[in-house]
């Protein structure tokens, strides 16, 4: 079964909108795990507009499932990850002013840089994943970085699926097969939802984990957080 890691950035956004500690990020993380999710994901950014660096440190002792920290490996981010030592770090090439992640790594152009970063994290026993577009030809160079996994950036799939075009999943299927051929594990995330998740994991072989935040939290406004986590787990089973 593909594991569900819940991105709690949007909980932090809501908290930060009013100051104080409502909703309580740490309590929500505990609850999500109690509801059955197999992981917690955060994506701190330099301006700390949602997840703060201190949140990552505070969550270290709260996350008892899998702790995944995403972000652009600038020096401050690398230092944070090495302090926290999560189960997994996902490297995302997002610009400082990006509203959300909008592209994967060019693993040919940035191979040397990624090799250096991956090596540092793996020396500290942190599993690494590289955020990537569904480009099969990039998988060999991704494997050359010695990363453990890739995370397929699924926005393009979600957009095509919403239009009724199920052919949009094909590059993901091909990329996953190619990545597997090179010994890479497969994660996926971005704009996956209750509507499109089940079809994706049925069509894309070997997906070990999905990281879902925005859609899940939005759906929880209607169905409740515990119900939504259960609904996602059902989609994955």
pLDDT of residue 97: 58
Mean of pLDDT values over 196-212: 98
**SS3 (DSSP) at 45:** coil
Please tell me the predicted confidence (pLDDT) of residue 94: 79
Taking residues 214-219, what's their average pLDDT?
97
pLDDT of 140 above 60: yes
- For position 234, what pLDDT does the model report? 98
Is the Cβ–Cβ distance between 103 and 133 less than 8 Å? yes
Selected catalytic residue, list 66, 70, 209, 219: 70
Q: How does pLDDT run across 157-186, given as a tens digit for each residue?
A: 999 999 999 999 999 999 999 999 999 999
Strand locations in 45-104 (E): 66-71, 88-91
d(CA 10, CA 177) in angstroms, rounded, equals 32
Q: Do 128 and 148 contact (CB within 8 A), yes or no?
A: yes
Sequence spans of domains, the chain: 3-232
**Model-level pTM?**
0.94
Q: Which of the following is catalytic: 50, 66, 151, 190?
A: 190
Residues 161 and 156: their CA atoms lie apart, in Å, by: 9
Cβ distance 151 to 188 under 8 Å? yes
Active site residue 50: no
Measured distance CA(108)–CA(174) in Å, rounded: 18
- pLDDT score recorded for residue 103: 79
pLDDT at residue 5 greater than cutoff 70: yes
What is the phi-psi region of residue 106: left when phi exceeds 0, alpha when psi lies from -120 to 50, beta otherwise?
Answer: beta
Residue 190 designated active-site: yes
Q: How many CB atoms lie within 10 A of CB 16?
A: 15
8-33: pLDDT as tens digits: 999 999 999 999 999 999 999 999 99
Catalytic residue among 43, 66, 209, 219: 43
Return the minimum-mean-pLDDT range out of 11-15, 92-96, 174-178, 216-220: 92-96
| pLDDT, tens digit (0-9, with 9 covering 90-100), for 53-79 | 999 999 999 999 999 999 999 999 999
Q: Which of 190, 202, 195 is nearest to 219 (CA)?
A: 195
| Whether 214 is catalytic | no
- In the numeric block, which tokens belong to residue 91? 């490297």
* Residue 64 CB partners (closer than 8 Å, separation 6+): 33
pLDDT > 70 in the chain, percent = 97
- Give the residue ranges of DSSP H helices in 89-154: 111-123, 139-144
What pLDDT does residue 95 have? 63
Q: Express each pLDDT in 98-117 by its tens digit.
A: 555 567 899 999 999 999 99
Cα(138)–Cα(107) distance, rounded to whole angstroms?
A: 6
The structure tokens listed for 163 are 């239009």
| CATH number for the domain whose boundaries are 3-232 | 3.20.20.70
How many other C-beta atoms are found inside a 10 Å radius of the C-beta of residue 133?
18
- Average pLDDT value over all residues in the chain: 95
């Amino acid at each position: 079964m593909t594991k569900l890691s819940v991105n709690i950035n949007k909980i932090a956004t809501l908290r930060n909108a009013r100051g104080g500690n409502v909703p309580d990020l740490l309590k929500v993380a505990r609850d999500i795990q109690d509801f059955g999710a197999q992981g917690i994901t955060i994506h701190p950014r330099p301006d700390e507009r949602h997840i703060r660096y201190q949140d990552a440190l505070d969550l270290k002792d709260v996350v008892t499932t899998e702790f995944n920290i995403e972000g652009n490996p600038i020096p401050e981010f690398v230092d944070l990850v090495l302090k926290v030592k999560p189960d997994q770090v996902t490297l995302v090439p997002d610009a400082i002013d990006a509203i959300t992640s909008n592209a994967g790594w060019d693993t040919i152009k940035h191979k040397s840089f990624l090799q250096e970063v991956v090596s540092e994290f793996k020396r500290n026993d942190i599993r690494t994943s590289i955020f990537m577009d569904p480009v099969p030809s990039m998988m060999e160079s991704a494997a050359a970085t010695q990363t453990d996994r890739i995370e397929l950036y699924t926005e393009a799939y979600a957009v095509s699926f919403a239009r009724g075009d199920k052919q949009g999943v094909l590059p993901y299927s091909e990329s996953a097969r190619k990545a597997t051929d090179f010994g890479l594990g497969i994660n996926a995330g971005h704009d996956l939802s209750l509507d499109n998740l089940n079809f994706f994991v049925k069509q894309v072989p070997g997906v070990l984990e999905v990281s879902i935040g925005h859609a899940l939290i939005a759906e929880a406004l209607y169905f409740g957080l515990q119900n939504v986590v259960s609904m996602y787990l059902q989609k994955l089973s």
